[in-house]
Amino acid sequence: MLEKIQAQLAPTQTKLIAVSKTHPPERVRELYDRGQRIFGENKVQELVAKYEALPKDIEWHLIGHLQTNKVKYIAPFVACIQSVDSLKLLAEIDKQAAKHGRVIDCLLQFHIAEEETKFGLDETEAMVLLQSAEFQSFKNVRITGVMGMATFTDDQVQVQREFRHLRSIFEKLKAQYFAEQTSFKEISMGMSGDYLLAIAEGSTMVRVGTLLFGAR
Ligand SMILES: *Cc1c(COP(=O)(O)O)cnc(C)c1O
């Protein structure tokens, strides 16, 4: 399955985040040995445990909700925090990254699904964040794009509409706030059930768990 998905992503150079949450380090190691280097986890404790158990050239992405009091545990090594949904959280990431002399890549997470439960900013909240003087003072975080989760539904038209919405937010933010920054380029969308549609809608990163590791 890994090789099949990699082949599907190759024409658009979309990156594959292998979502290993709930699966033991040995399963990560299997995909690592087949060449996969980017893995995603949604819980801090599990991310730290796997970081410690596995090769250090793995690029770890945090894709789940992050509490400010836990940023310190991942700041030394995390490659990208995909779930930034507040200025307060970003301030803490900046502070902890500075302690380690790092600049941490972050994605702004947007709420694009119909479901109430999913975390994320809306467009206005993101603009307020990006325009704030506090944000502009940060030196140890770099916003490299946006992330979103579509509604869990078989309705492909709805999922497509939500992906297009995320892409339009990306384009708008790019034009207004990041026009000169080539590093602002990521649209993280698409999971096991909808990654092909996500690629067609311009995703640059898909986050695939179940298809690679089996059911959780
Ligand atoms: C679990 C998870 C995924 C992967 O979901 P699958 O359906 O197993 O591919 C992707 N993104 C986020 C944010 C997740 O929590």
**What lines the ligand 1 site, CB under 6 Å?**
19, 21, 42, 63-64, 149, 191-193, 207-210
Domain CATH code at residue 182: 3.20.20.10
Domain coverage including residue 28: 2-213
| C-alpha 9 – ligand 1 centre gap (Å) | 17
Instruction: Name the closest-CA residue to atom 6, ligand 1.
Output: 209
Give the count of domains, the chain.
Answer: 1
Between helix 123-131 and helix 156-177 the angle, nearest 10°, is 20
**In angstroms, what is the span from residue 44 Cα to ligand 1's centroid?**
15
* pLDDT one-digit tens code per residue, 161-206: 999 999 999 999 999 999 999 999 999 999 999 999 999 999 999 9
pTM of the predicted model as reported, rounded to 2 decimal places: 0.97
> What residue's CA is closest to ligand 1, atom 13?
63
Q: How far apart are CA 52 and CA 100, in angstroms?
A: 17
